[in-house]
Chains A and B, each alone.
Chain A
Amino acid sequence: MWNWIQKFSSPKYFYDMSAKLIPWFAIPALVIGVYGLYLGLFVAPTDYQQGESYRIIFIHVPAAWMSLFIYMVMAISAGIGLIWQIRLADVIAAASAPIGASFTFLALVTGSLWGKPMWGTYWVWDARLTSELILLFLYFGYMALQSSIEDQRQADKASGLLAIVGVVNIPIIHYSVEWWNTLHQGATVAKFDKPSMHVDMLIPLLLMALAFQLFYAAVVLVRARNEALYRERNRRWVRELIEKI
Chain B
Amino acid sequence: MNGSEFNWSEFFAMGGYAFFVWTSYGIAFLVIVLNIVMPMIGRKKVISRVKRAIRREQLQQ
Contacts and interface: CB of A to CB of B under 8 A. Distances in A.
Interface of A: 41-43, 46, 51-53, 55-56, 59-60, 63, 98-99, 102-103, 105-106, 109-110, 113-114, 116-117, 215, 219, 222-223, 225-226, 229-230, 233, 238-239, 242-243, 245
Contacts of B23: 113
A56 B20 contact: yes
A106 B14 contact: no
Interface string B32-55: 101110111011001101110110
A196 B15 CA distance: 23
Count chain B CB atoms within 10 A of each CB in A52, A109, A233, A238 and give the residue with the most: A52
B20 A53 contact: yes
A225 B11 CA distance: 41
Contact of A52 (B14, B42, B43): B14
A105 B34 CA distance: 13
B47 A242 contact: yes
B39 A219 contact: yes
Nearest to A238: B50
Nearest to A53: B17
Nearest to B32: A215
Contacts of B35: 99, 102, 215, 219
B1 A116 contact: no
